[in-house]
Amino acid sequence: MADLFTGAALFILTVTALGLFKVLRSEIAVERMMAVQLLGTGGAAAVLLLGAATSSPAMTDVALLLMLLAAVSCAAFTSGQSSHTADASEQAEDEA
């Protein structure tokens, strides 16, 4: 059972990481962030599976953190994007 869990974790990670590498080369910034999002979810799934494989319950907490922070960094990313597009006209920095 443990080996199967590890195998599933490996599979998920491989798939999502391959997707990430493919997309990192793309020019569209949004797609890269989507791939990171996918990796975050895949990572959480892998952590859960590994936790089940090694029967260490604390791993669930790692997955919790991963999911929570993945959402936050995605939000930070889009806020940077939108401020970029919206501010293009008024980019004057508040000079000292």
Partner 1 sequence: MSLASLGTATLFGLCGAALAGIGLFIVIAHAGLLRRIVGFNILGAGIFLVFGAAARRGAAAGFSGDPVPQAMVITGIVVAFSATALAVALLQRLFDLTGRESLDAPAASDKQQAEP
Partner 2 sequence: MTMLLDLALVAWLLALAIHVARARDDQGAIIAFIAFGLLLGLGWTRLSAIDVAMTEAAIGGGVTGMLLLRAEARLRQRSSQPQTPKRTTKAAAAIACTVVAAGLALAVLSFPSPAPTLAPAAAAALDSTGLGNPVTAVLLAYRALDTLLEKVVLLLALLGVWSLAPDQLWGGAPELRQTVAPPPFVYLGRILPPFGVLIAVYMCWVGADAPGGTFQAGTVLAAMWLLIMLASLRPAPETRRTTLRLLLVGGPVLFFAVGFLGFAVADGFLSYPEGAAKPIIVGIEAALTVSIALTLGLLVAGPSSRAPAP
Partner 3 sequence: MTSLANAFTLVAVGCGALLFLAGTLGLLRFPDTLSRLHALSKADNLGLGLIVLGLLPQAESFAGGLKLVCVWLLAQISAATASQLIAGVLYRRKSRP
- Is residue 28 close enough to count as binding partner 2 by CB under 8 A? no
In angstroms, the CA 20 to CA 55 distance is 29
Q: Does 24 bind partner 2 (CB under 8 A)?
A: yes
Query: Is 56 or 82 the residue whose CB approaches partner 1 more closely?
Result: 56
Q: What is the footprint of partner 1 within residues 35-94 (CB under 8 A)?
A: 93-94
28 near partner 1, rule: CB under 8 A: no
- CA pair distance 7, 46, nearest whole angstrom: 10
What the block records as the tokens of 32 is: 């890269």
Closest CA to 62 of 46, 76, 77, 38: 46
CB 49 within 8 A of CB 79: no
Q: How far apart are CA 51 and CA 4, in angstroms?
A: 12
Residues that bind partner 3 (CB under 8 A): 1, 4-5, 8, 11-12, 15-16, 18-19, 22-23, 28, 30-31, 33-35, 37-38, 41-42, 44-45, 48-49, 52, 55, 57, 60-61, 63-64, 67-68, 70-71, 74-75, 78, 81-82, 85-86
